Structure 1
């Protein structure tokens, strides 16, 4: 082949071959200096959490050049579950420098390098937020995300997921990730080197090629772009279906056409979604009158079809409730999965058994109900066949199982618990506050924080349940909100369930449209207990819509209110209790309880 034949563009009669320069090839990966960084933090959001540890490793050409590691004082209590996860305690960071002292040294360490992290959006987000808070300009680091690269080159047959621990084992990393910053950074270095070897088989040999490679649509995404053809530019729900008609994924959008198209572009990097697109054979749109209808339809369709590629809202029936039992001489608190049409009192719903148990423990601290699970009857007690426990000996219950507390006296505790669960949370708050103050005075801050978390679980569940129960009691509620293009959006809610929606054009007479939407709305019957006739998620969607800017109540048939001394009044307390605490003396803040 002649030189003219390989010159590319511009070839023609008399044209001469042009030799490409090294600059055209980009920066060879062997010559790139990478700084692989990992952070430990007090939570998942830079707006609400802080950095507790930074670890970084500088490498070039497969060889380490240096390491950077330091604990960081977050300026706020470290949540107990973070301590369990990372092993970083409040005492460990008490003498550590603040982030504003650490950040200049890290930026100098990483200057002129390519930043690498696993799920880089998380780590870079915290670092950018720290720079912004400290008044530092964020350097324009090129960023490489090893999670993105792994999703691009590794198949489900090779690794079940793209977590750092999974990839470290797959590439036989010399360091096992353990949720400590430097160890995780070292493991990420080995993962990076393993991925660089893999992408070499795709013809990726430069930094520029590697950064573009992770964002390139897969062949399946490119091949199935036609599935987005014909999508309407309207709010609604979309269902990805396979060749057999099985629903793979359900989503919602204010613009179906734009959202569905995004699944077939480079912006979609989620591995599960790319896999789903490979199986999909059609996308079915359902146009909705309003965004609220789309949100509620999405929840209902996910609960109905339980698509394998949806992660949330698939099992609303698994919600947990705290129930004060009925039909017993000595009622107790039980964790159940459904509300029944009985005289039981319910608190919740809870998203996990742990939260339900914490809320129950907070209530037990305030009200000495029995904690055993046996069905206790007077006859069983008289015959001496009731199982006894040590709680009666230490004053945590009245020892009804031994006959020391008669049913009449126990009933007073039951009535107190009923009052707390139905609205007056002051006894639980007061009891918890006494314990927290005592532990804080004894400098037992971590135990005080655990008590605070227990109380917070109870308060959040009580507040949620009271909001939902108030909506579920209304036979009919008609609300209106300004539409995006003018006019109004309407919603008819019956016993907590969205029964109908519609819109009113700008300048139109309101009442004919309201009457039409009400007349065509679904007939709904009241549900058992505080659960209403809809799932908790659906009712919360409706409540968020009603809390939106410009929302108005058109009609309320029922009493829509929360208790005066209910948990809703403690929302400000919760915000203060979990807000970052500024140091008063520039020193110790270990586990300060709520104030």
Structure 2
């Protein structure tokens, strides 16, 4: 495939670009509910450079206990003329706007700030918060320090300020502790805010040592393949940023046990940069179908689907099959499970009296009728009472439901639904509704996909958030190529190059022969999405006026489908 790729930035925010506000509070006691703030100290830093400081006493509106005065040195006379809590906290929030808050034992300081906001009708902005004591417990072992108190860590990291229970001094010491911890983590590859926030001792040293597997990956959209020492695919995934996504597998943000097991077995990650998100999705699907990686739970067998078809015989019937041929009268699907195909067949039987027996019937050798004939649920061609031409009318009704106008069938089933509901037979009504849903969903899918699969070529374009156009070439329902026309460029030369380099795709002999059914469904969703423009088409793209798409849209909310 021809690829013209604009690079995207990392999804993670580099720590050097993060603004941190390190805060410390002095209070009248330990409970945010019953005690007040006496002092706020804060230091704003970014990239190791101090951007500003804030220090203010706070009048808590209550006497400061004697032991607190002894501990902090802050007396009632020092805070008598200081701002009240609402004013002081509002000033701090303005100082810290847009920054990540950092505190040593953050639950204490943040708890007081939140309580003050709630008590004085101030909006708590919900910033990201880092707790240096929690981080230190994971980074600095007890072999190095006796405990993880601020004073101990400040000495360990050589802080320029000694903490002394005064807010600004303690905040300055916490800044040096934060920088020391970030330096430690940088040696194991933690260099983004997201990685720092999710860092945990749950990640083993063995796992951290494998972070180098992601180091050379591109920061671009596409597919990534984890492989073991034999080169076999363990897991296939997609991302708008391959490098950033792969790095997440080596942090605590990845909590799936099977993924941890997969990463321990992996020895390399193979990236495949893709021009469009559709190309990435399709490549992922094809690779999973080809390699069947053991750690991909879904779509390991995208080729293993079911179809509901009308058989090609004198008295056609419905049959559930794995593949279709060019001579099949009509069909619906694909279905992910045989059960859903059986439900769709039952719904069609509810609407059209097709025969349900499996025997191949002869118009010249009649047999006895089954119970369904007595119930009026079958035309009973087996008895010889129905001519081939008359039964053909019933078959034509079934064909119309599958490939054309499904409204009469849907209306007939709705009448039965109404009768069941009126009779308070709600469980039967729900079962009938679900059967109708299976039929409508499958017929809608096949009706929409058929013209895309039959078109020899479709060129389409869609604007992207990063600017320019994503371009795709679809041939017989298969993604034959994709490209990207950058911002400001004339897209037509890119269209011409895409068309010239796109894969040659043979016409289908049946659904699933030119492309996996799931691939055609992915392509169809992309083409139908809002904002997609049709550039050129060789073929026809039509859908029956009375087709199942409208009924599908109507039933989707009730059955919990994505419309």
TM-score when scaled to structure 1? 0.59
2:457 equivalent to 1:471:
no
Instruction: Give SS of 1:318's match.
Output: coil
1:544 positional shift: 2.5
2:462 equivalent to 1:481:
yes
1:214 positional shift: 8.5
Distance 2:484 2:461 in 1: 9
2:289 equivalent to 1:308:
no
Partner of residue 324, structure 1: 310
2:410 equivalent to 1:424:
no
Give matches, 1:196-215, under 5 Å. Answer: none
1:531 positional shift: 4.2
Contact 1:341/1:529 (<8 A) preserved: yes
Larger radius of gyration: 2
2:345 equivalent to 1:360:
yes
1:104-123 deviation per Cα after TM superposition (whole angstroms, max 9, x unaligned): xxxxxxxxxxxxxxxxxxxx
Partner of residue 181, structure 2: none
Contact 2:310/2:328 (<8 A) preserved: no
Instruction: Give SS of 1:378's match.
Output: coil
1:565 positional shift: 0.2
2:241 equivalent to 1:255:
yes
Give matches, 1:196-235, under 5 Å. Answer: 216-235=202-221
Contact 1:215/1:267 (<8 A) preserved: no
Instruction: Give SS of 2:342's match.
Output: helix
Partner of residue 344, structure 1: 329
Contact 2:309/2:328 (<8 A) preserved: no
Instruction: Give SS of 2:473's match.
Output: strand
Unmatched tracts of structure 1, length 5 or more: 1-139, 141-211, 581-595
**In the superposition, relative to structure 1, how do residues 246 and 466 fare at CA in structure 2: closer, same or farther (>3 Å)?**
same
Contact 2:365/2:384 (<8 A) preserved: no
**In the superposition, relative to structure 1, how do residues 478 and 532 fare at CA in structure 2: closer, same or farther (>3 Å)?**
farther
1:545 positional shift: 2.1
Contact 2:200/2:251 (<8 A) preserved: no
Partner of residue 100, structure 2: none
**In the superposition, relative to structure 1, how do residues 557 and 391 fare at CA in structure 2: closer, same or farther (>3 Å)?**
same
Instruction: Give SS of 1:316's match.
Output: coil
1:440 positional shift: 1.1
Contact 1:488/1:504 (<8 A) preserved: yes
Distance 2:502 2:399 in 1: 35
Q: 1:494 aligns with which of 475, 478, 485?
A: 475
Unmatched tracts of structure 2, length 5 or more: 1-125, 127-197
Distance 1:272 1:297 in 2: 23
Instruction: Give SS of 1:224's match.
Output: helix
1:69-122 deviation per Cα after TM superposition (whole angstroms, max 9, x unaligned): xxxxxxxxxxxxxxxxxxxxxxxxxxxxxxxxxxxxxxxxxxxxxxxxxxxxxx
**In the superposition, relative to structure 1, how do residues 427 and 340 fare at CA in structure 2: closer, same or farther (>3 Å)?**
same
Give matches, 1:559-578, under 5 Å. Answer: 559-575=540-556, 577-578=558-559
**In the superposition, relative to structure 1, how do residues 292 and 380 fare at CA in structure 2: closer, same or farther (>3 Å)?**
same
The number of residue pairs the alignment matches comes to 368
Distance 2:535 2:381 in 1: 52
Distance 2:349 2:444 in 1: 18
Partner of residue 456, structure 1: 437
1:562-585 deviation per Cα after TM superposition (whole angstroms, max 9, x unaligned): 1100011123421454479xxxxx
Give matches, 1:184-199, under 5 Å. Answer: none
**In the superposition, relative to structure 1, how do residues 457 and 558 fare at CA in structure 2: closer, same or farther (>3 Å)?**
same
1:339-367 deviation per Cα after TM superposition (whole angstroms, max 9, x unaligned): 21224311111111111111101111111
Distance 2:225 2:499 in 1: 28
Contact 1:235/1:253 (<8 A) preserved: yes
Instruction: Give SS of 2:467's match.
Output: coil
Partner of residue 13, structure 2: none
**In the superposition, relative to structure 1, how do residues 236 and 438 fare at CA in structure 2: closer, same or farther (>3 Å)?**
same
Q: 1:515 aligns with which of 469, 473, 496?
A: 496
Distance 1:408 1:522 in 2: 45
2:359 equivalent to 1:374:
yes
Instruction: Give SS of 1:490's match.
Output: strand
Instruction: Give SS of 2:452's match.
Output: helix
Partner of residue 528, structure 1: 509
- Please provide the CA RMSD for this pair: 2.4
**In the superposition, relative to structure 1, how do residues 220 and 405 fare at CA in structure 2: closer, same or farther (>3 Å)?**
farther
Give matches, 1:25-64, under 5 Å. Answer: none
Instruction: Give SS of 1:448's match.
Output: helix
Give matches, 1:70-85, under 5 Å. Answer: none
Partner of residue 283, structure 1: 269
Distance 1:351 1:387 in 2: 36
Distance 1:541 1:427 in 2: 30
1:213 positional shift: 11
1:411 positional shift: 1.1
Q: 2:223 aligns with which of 219, 234, 237?
A: 237
1:427 positional shift: 2.4
Contact 1:496/1:539 (<8 A) preserved: yes
Give matches, 1:165-180, under 5 Å. Answer: none
1:293 positional shift: 1.0
**In the superposition, relative to structure 1, how do residues 432 and 243 fare at CA in structure 2: closer, same or farther (>3 Å)?**
same
Instruction: Give SS of 2:481's match.
Output: strand
**In the superposition, relative to structure 1, how do residues 217 and 447 fare at CA in structure 2: closer, same or farther (>3 Å)?**
same
1:390 positional shift: 1.6
1:456-506 deviation per Cα after TM superposition (whole angstroms, max 9, x unaligned): 111111111111112112111101111332211110001111001111122
Distance 1:399 1:323 in 2: 19
